[in-house]
Chain A
Amino acid sequence: MINKKKKTAMYIAMILITVLVMFPFLWMIILSFKTNAEIMSSPLSLPETLNFDNYKNAFATLDFLQLYANTFFVCIASLAFELVITFCSSFVLSRMVFKSARLKKMIYGFLIMGLSISPFILLFPVYKISVALGLHGKVALIFPYVATSISFNTLLLVGYLKALPSEIDEAAVIDGCTIWDLMVRVILPMAKPVIATVVIFNALYIWNEFPFASVMLRDVTDYTLSMGASFFKGNYTVDYGGIVASSIMIIIPELIFYGLFQKNIVEGMTAGAVKG
């Protein structure tokens, strides 16, 4: 149906767009093998030799194992915490009977309201509250990450759980289920797809989050990856090669993760967009 000339033009456009979008990544990889002197004196040249000094420098300056461990810790702790509490509250709001339907609607609306709140107004007050509660370091990041996920999780979980037929609950109760059995053994397995979406969306957010981390983390041993990335700047000499190499060290695992779960990640992020 489509003639050949047109098809060729489409292929050219597709390849051109893809290459243009990917260029910055490719450029970073090239740069990472150039010395600082090469980067400064001839920005456009290709590296003369394949030297790994920048990577060595990055490893010497930043403790990547620690950065990964910290990020992983904050990510897992926040996800576990937020999933437990928002699953419970969403269960109430989607499957329990309220004497006053208005109260239920009000609680739901109250929790959803957070979607319109920009995290930037929260930074300083949350810092003050954390100090007052005696929270500091990477542990102090968990509560803000959990809190900022509540609205999104409620929206998705309540929407999904509401759609499951109420006969399930009735059958479960007749078979002698307690409320815990019903929640954990009946409803939770059925909610797997939406929980996967919630996990992916929030994991990406936490993994990449910078504003809260920059306010809460003072000690280098508490740094998460995004803080590590900004570490090289602000020193007296700008170590261009070191920044590039450490950025690549942070990007590559992300890209591998993306390669493995590409379909779920794209689905999770677009579901968030369409719903939120």
Chain B
Amino acid sequence: MYWLSKKRYKIGLLIPTLLVYCVFIILPIIIAVGYSFTKYSGIGKARFNGLDNYIRLFGDRFFWISLKNTMIIFVLAFTLLLVLSFLIALLLNNKLKGNDFSKALIFSPAIIAPIIVGIIWTYILDPSVGVINGFLDAIGASDLKQMWIGGDTLSPYSIAFIYFWQQLGYLVTIFIAGLKMIPEDVLEAAQIDGATGAQKVRYVIIPMMRTTISTVAVLIITGVFKIFEIVQQTTGGGPNHLSETLVTYSYSMTFTSGEYGYGMSLATVTFIISLIITGIYSFLTREKERGAK
């Protein structure tokens, strides 16, 4: 609207947002990257030490462990979520009595605070008071008891599973929304041509859901890099940093060990990895737009 597009209106209305955004998003990133080149214990002044933090990072066993854990969680959660949420969406998209109720219940973990999700699962996975080991004892299969959380190896797998539980209903809902967009007549045509259920899924539904599938994929990828509370609550990254993810390790170095400089270099590297993922994301959306034309 030209008449009202006066310069002072534009500036006046844009300034508050730009100011908050610059002071609390852009400036912090600059500060974080700045600190990543220093040694800073929180007291006194930060001392510039060049690339020392980054050199230390590449030689840091725990950095590689947390990267490895993040990747385990990513691969496992990605596979489980993508496949199972799609299958459950196919199931619940049928005309079944009570499927709306079932959808609503399955969705509910997604609205609970992640910190509570961590607490809930502690009582299921905990080696001594958890349900799973208790159940194995009860059926006389005590040999199968594991350190599901807090042991040396299984924590990242358990965390991936918890994340799966939390996100399942949410992604099912997105898939169902995608399924609803497939025109009825296309499926009928396939039916008339004699396609079996599996063939319909393979040759009609999956190709027509490409956009939804890539949306869900990107959601899982970015979501995995934000898993924090679940780890914090179930294992706290322990024992001895063995179950840390990139995010929790940088948090623990910064706020628990008070190595602010090193913590910020970890945060920066994690940030760069997430930027690479954003690159993949924009690549996928570009593909999507081209497909739409």
Contact = CB atoms under 8 A, between A and B. Distances in A.
B52 interface: no
Contacts of A25: 108, 120
Interface stretch (A52-60, A110-118, A191-199): A110-118
A128 B270 CA distance: 20
A96 to B, nearest CB: 4
Nearest to B107: A266
A147 B106 contact: no
Interface residues of B, number: 90
A40 B29 contact: no
B123 A121 contact: no
A89 interface: yes
A144 interface: yes
A225 interface: yes
Most buried by B among A86, A117, A146: A117
Contacts of B189: none
B1 to A, nearest CB: 4
23 contacts: A14-B92, A14-B99, A14-B102, A40-B129, A88-B13, A89-B13, A89-B18, A114-B21, A120-B228, A120-B251, A121-B271, A125-B31, A126-B28, A128-B31, A147-B20, A169-B1, A170-B1, A182-B4, A258-B111, A266-B107, A270-B170, A273-B219, A274-B177
A146 B277 CA distance: 25
A66 interface: no
A118 B276 CA distance: 12
B120 A254 contact: no
B228 A274 contact: no
A124 B5 contact: no
Contacts of A247: 116, 119-120
Interface of A: 2, 7, 10-11, 13-15, 17-18, 21-22, 24-25, 27-28, 31, 39-40, 42-44, 84-86, 88-89, 91-93, 95-98, 107, 110-111, 114-126, 128-129, 143-144, 146-148, 150, 154, 166, 169-170, 173, 179, 182, 204, 207-208, 210-211, 215, 225-226, 229-230, 233, 240, 243-244, 247, 250-251, 254-255, 258, 262, 265-266, 269-270, 273-274
A208 B114 contact: yes
Given A233-B233, A240-B123, 19 more contacts: A14-B102, A21-B165, A24-B109, A86-B17, A89-B14, A115-B278, A124-B260, A125-B27, A125-B28, A125-B31, A129-B23, A143-B24, A144-B24, A146-B20, A154-B17, A170-B1, A173-B3, A182-B1, A273-B174
Contacts of B91: 10, 13-14, 17
A121 B251 CA distance: 9
A117 B119 CA distance: 27
A204 B111 contact: yes
Contacts of B88: 17
Interface string B238-269: 00000000010011001100001001100110
A126 B271 CA distance: 16
Interface string B30-43: 01100100000000
Interface of B: 1-5, 9-10, 13-14, 16-18, 20-21, 23-25, 27-29, 31-32, 35, 88, 91-92, 94, 96-99, 102, 104-116, 119-121, 123-124, 128-131, 133-135, 137-138, 165, 168-170, 173-174, 177, 215, 219, 225-226, 228-229, 232-233, 247, 250-251, 254-255, 260, 263-264, 267-268, 270-271, 274-275, 278, 281
Given A2-B94, A124-B255, A273-B174, A24 B113 contact: no
B197 to A, nearest CB: 9
Contact of A118 (B9, B18, B270): B270
Nearest to B282: A116
B114 A39 contact: no
A90 B225 CA distance: 29
Contact of B105 (A22, A111, A266, A273): A22
